[in-house]
């Protein structure tokens, strides 16, 4: 499976796992990062050591229109064009209703919805020429909302809606799907042991998932899902059964 893949937020966590698995499958990877420079450089070097000229780096603040345009240009020019866009970059933090600021609104809506929208539309022509696909990383909380995280939940719900309307608008040339992770990685601001236990008790498989679980779902949508579009794949160990 030799495809050219752009992954936003690819330096760490789920993004890095998706990048590793797709690279193992033979894909070329354009690694986007914002501030995680060291991790991104290490990942790029790792890939190119295994297969020369199979990975490239691009730094960009996706809320900056000019930076986003440069990322689009890099994706179009790298290895002859992009086949797969994975909108993974995301901001996540609490926004209590009484204290939510306009800056928080703009940041969370910007990274989780605005940037994927404009990145997808800017690359649509290139993706259509190559019969490519778009994969949006959403969240199980897009459906029901996460208390204390209203703006984040609204943004991810918007990304689910975008997935479905883009699947209609861009068909039949481009497939558009989403993956909704459940308890895969704990937030970088660690939860207490009690909070973690409470979450795991509401997961049917009684354990936290791994980033590789999301990467495998991404691989399926890229490699084996030629007749799948407009779908949201929930990868949560059955957590939503006991929401």
Q: Residue 154's CB: how many other CB atoms inside 10 A?
A: 18
Contacts of 118 (CB under 8 A, 6+ apart): 65, 68
Whether residue 171 is predicted with pLDDT greater than 90 in this model: the reply is yes
Instruction: Give the separation between CA 34 and CA 68, rounded to whole angstroms.
Output: 11
Segment 112-139 mean pLDDT:
98
Segment 150-169 mean pLDDT:
98
Q: Where are the alpha helices (DSSP H) in 51-114?
A: 65-77, 102-109
Segment 95-122 mean pLDDT:
97
Instruction: Give the separation between CA 33 and CA 43, rounded to whole angstroms.
Output: 11
Instruction: Give the separation between CA 57 and CA 42, rounded to whole angstroms.
Output: 10
Give the tokens for residue 143.
């459906």
With a threshold of 0.85, does the pTM exceed it? yes
Whether residue 124 contacts residue 75, with contact meaning beta carbons closer than 8 Å, is answered with no
Q: What is the pLDDT of residue 189?
A: 61
pLDDT in tens, 176-209: 999 999 988 766 566 777 777 888 888 989 898 9
Is 152 in the active site? yes
Instruction: Give the separation between CA 199 and CA 92, rounded to whole angstroms.
Output: 18
Q: What is the pLDDT of residue 188?
A: 58
3-state secondary structure of 96: coil
Instruction: Count Cα neighbours of 124 within 13 Å in the Cβ-side half-sphere.
Output: 14
Segment 163-182 mean pLDDT:
98
pLDDT in tens, 39-48: 999 999 999 9
Q: What is the pLDDT of residue 192?
A: 76
**How would CATH label the architecture of 4-242?**
3-Layer(aba) Sandwich (3.40)
- Annotated catalytic residue, options 33, 152, 227, 243: 152
Whether residue 211 contacts residue 185, with contact meaning beta carbons closer than 8 Å, is answered with yes
């Amino acid at each position: 499976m030799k495809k050219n893949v752009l992954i936003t937020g690819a330096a760490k966590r789920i993004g890095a796992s998706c990048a590793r698995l797709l690279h193992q499958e033979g894909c070329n990877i354009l690694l986007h990062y914002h501030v995680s420079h060291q991790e991104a450089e290490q990942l790029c070097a790792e890939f190119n050591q295994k297969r020369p000229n199979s990975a490239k780096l691009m730094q960009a603040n996706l809320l900056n229109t000019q930076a986003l345009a440069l990322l689009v240009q890099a994706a179009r020019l790298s290895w002859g064009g992009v086949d797969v866009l994975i909108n993974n970059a995301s901001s996540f933090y609490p926004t209590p209703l009484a204290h939510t600021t306009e800056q928080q609104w703009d940041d969370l809506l910007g990274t989780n919805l605005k940037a994927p929208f404009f990145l997808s539309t800017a690359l649509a022509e290139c993706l259509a020429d190559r019969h490519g696909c778009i994969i949006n990383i959403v969240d199980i909380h897009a459906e029901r909302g996460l208390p204390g995280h209203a703006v984040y939940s609204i943004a991810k719900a918007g990304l689910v809606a975008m997935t479905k309307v883009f699947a209609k608008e861009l068909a039949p040339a481009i497939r558009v799907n989403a993956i909704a992770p459940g308890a895969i990685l704990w937030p970088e601001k660690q939860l207490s042991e009690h909070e973690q236990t409470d979450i795991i008790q509401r997961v049917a498989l009684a354990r936290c998932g791994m980033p590789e679980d999301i990467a495998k779902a991404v691989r399926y949508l890229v490699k084996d899902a030629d007749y799948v579009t407009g779908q949201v794949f929930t990868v949560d160990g059955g957590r939503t059964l006991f929401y």
